[in-house]
Amino acid sequence: MEELSNENSRKLFFRITFGGEEKRPNSDKLDNDICDTIIQKCRGVPLAIVTIAGVLATKSTSEWSNLYNSIGFSPDDGDVENMKKILSFSCYDLPSHLRTCFLYLCVFPEEYFIEKNNLIFRWMAEGFIHEENGKEFFDVGGSYLDELINRNVVIPIVGKESGLLQGCRVHDMLLRVIRQISVEEDFIVALEREQRLSIAQENVRRLALQLLMVETNYKDVGRVRSFYVTICGTELIPSLSRFNALRVLVLEFCIGMDDYSIEHIAQLLHLRYIGLSHTAVSKLPKQIGRLKFLQTLLLDDTGIKILPASVRSLKQLMCLHVDLKTRVPDWIGEMTSLVELEMYHEVVPHLFSREAPRVHVVEMHHAADNQCSTREFVKQLGNLTNLRVLKTRITLEDKGQGKVFLESLRNLHNIQDISIGLPTAFIEVDVIPELGFALSSSLRILELLNLQFSKLPEWINCERLPNLCQLKVSVSNVEEKDLGNLATLPQLRELTLAIIRYHRLKLTICGCGGFQNLRLLHLTVPLQFVQGAMPRLEEITFGITVFEFKDANISFDLGLENLASLQSVTVGIHCTDACSAEVDEAEDAIRRAIDIHPNHPKLLVKRDDEDKMGPVDAGSREFSRAMYKILQDSTLSEQIKKLNEQIDVLNKCNSSLYSQAQEMAQLLPEGHPNTAK
């Protein structure tokens, strides 16, 4: 780890303790000598500075001298020993409830991304979260994580798209310290690779095994309450039949499950949490419904196709993630305690984004494979009124289903994250809800790619969705007033607009103070940017249909150089019916804007349909333009009908021309040079 200079060490220290060196109190209220001594003991190591400053920031400056003395520094201590003392002190100084939650993090491997919601569900299962008046348990757990972040003992991981806290990591050195403390206090034993148990087995209540290379010597597991296994072969770990008192069971990325039975799970009646993610498990025990206290069931990437009917008896279940192959049961609407649901009514392999390594290959999963029909599924979703997170994929079949679907979403009063992925077959459903329709004001992520709105819904505005950070929608048409409406969303960081029919070639984004937080913009069409537009935009993706611009005599200058924070540009150039010179002109215009941009953003240009590029004769171009206009001005069903009509006309014309050519060829003398033509 590279050491900081004394000057930079001071800047970092005072930035954390007071918000900046210029904001520190005067010498009457702050002992500068103690500050210099503490900074010196950190030896320029950023982790030490950040950790001790995080502790001091929670204390009065009058306490700093006593706190320094309580750390127990010795003149004979080296840098490593000083570091250990600082890290240990930061742990011991935590309030008891936070200290327990912090020590718990040693069950995760080094460099592991600890997902926020999953961590809170684990804390709940362990009984670490205490009730607070007027607050849900989940919110209390979130406040615990926020406090650990504020004290600089964990590293926050923030989503680039949403700006929301996704989870955290623990620095490797700090992880080693809390593992040592956990063993000393008989709190958790974490073993990895070839490590062996070195304490009395009867004292261990939580056991974590990671990347084991030898069989664990821990056999007496009857009293173990929490069992965590990550990336291990099952031949090296104890059988589940040896456990009697488990509250938490995690088997992630485990190998060799064919010879490792999980039937005993149904006998572990105290279980609150079961995590089998990325472990090949063919089926769950039929009697899993006996686990009346179960709160979390994670089955993503397991290969399980059918949920046992007894799952419907788990009335305390708050979090359910199933495999992409898992069929939707016809009783999902009965699980009214659910706070988080990830369940797919259908799956399209090439549209599925891989967020993590997978054990199983993603397979096609049709709506007809489910026990629950599309109509019934969208209706039952409305019963899950406690949902905060909903992730699914579903194809709506008609406008009636679209209305029922939106009504179900409106019933989710606590919803914060709605992520509905691309359907298997895109069917246009122009749904315009009645006046007064609104989704929960707590909504932060809205991804509705299975609906195509005729225009941007009026309920997507700053008054009804003040916390919206991510928005992905498909619309038929967009006007400048719609963009102006989106511009007022104060928290919006990512915007994806799939515009199906588009009558204006370039809408203008002005620099009048809108889109103040937008970082990522994905469009199917280009926009015109003026000076001051989207001041924080870092990434943009859009497409250009070249012949449209040329036919309308519109410049390819989009004003990209006016996006002050731009770092990355991705452009799809649609070449159909444009000649090579026109396509080059479009690409050159974009490259010029990037070249003159002071940030010199990264540029990726993709040309589509280059094989359909000119030169073309006037007749073909006129026909193609007519076809394009038909497609732009009609719904999907109308497009198909008109396209077939045009193809029939074209086929008849071709047939007539071919007959005429044959007749002309017969009139020519044998061997005439035009016969071949």
DSSP line for 393-441: -----SHHHHHHHHHHHHT-TT--EEEE---SS-------PPTT----T
Q: How far separated are the first and last CA of the chain, in Å rounded?
A: 76
Give the per-residue pLDDT at 82. Answer: 77
**Count of CB atoms situated within 10 Å of the CB of 40:** 12
Give the per-residue pLDDT at 376. Answer: 93
Cα 165 to Cα 91, 117, 512, 654, distances in angstroms? 22, 10, 30, 61
Give the per-residue pLDDT at 354. Answer: 46
Give the per-residue pLDDT at 427. Answer: 59
Amino acid present at 138? F
Residue 76 buriedness (CB in 10 A; 0-12 / 13-18 / 19+): exposed
Strand partners, 472: 447, 496
**CA 485/CA 487 separation, integer angstroms:** 5
**Count of CB atoms situated within 10 Å of the CB of 599:** 14
Q: In sequence order, what E strands does 443-536 have?
A: 445-453, 470-475, 494-499, 507-509, 520-523, 527-529
Give the per-residue pLDDT at 99. Answer: 95
Give the per-residue pLDDT at 677. Answer: 45
**Spatial contact of 437 and 461, defined as CB atoms under 8 Å apart:** no
The two three-digit tokens of residue 607, written as one number: 């040309």
Give the per-residue pLDDT at 675. Answer: 44
Segments in the chain below pLDDT 50: 350-354, 673-677
**CA 479/CA 600 separation, integer angstroms:** 31
Residue range 339-357, pLDDT digits in tens: 999 999 887 654 444 455 5
Give the per-residue pLDDT at 350. Answer: 47
Query: 183-205 burial, b for 16+ CB within 10 Å, e for fewer?
Result: beeebbbbbbeebebeeebeebe
Q: Is 486 left (phi over 0), alpha (psi -120 to 50) or beta?
A: alpha
| pTM, to two decimals | 0.84
The two three-digit tokens of residue 124, written as one number: 């709940």
**Spatial contact of 307 and 328, defined as CB atoms under 8 Å apart:** no
**CA 576/CA 594 separation, integer angstroms:** 24
Give the per-residue pLDDT at 410. Answer: 93
**Spatial contact of 27 and 33, defined as CB atoms under 8 Å apart:** no
Give the phi and the psi of residue 498 in degrees, each rounded to 5.
Answer: -95, 105
Cis peptide before 308 (omega within 30 of 0): no
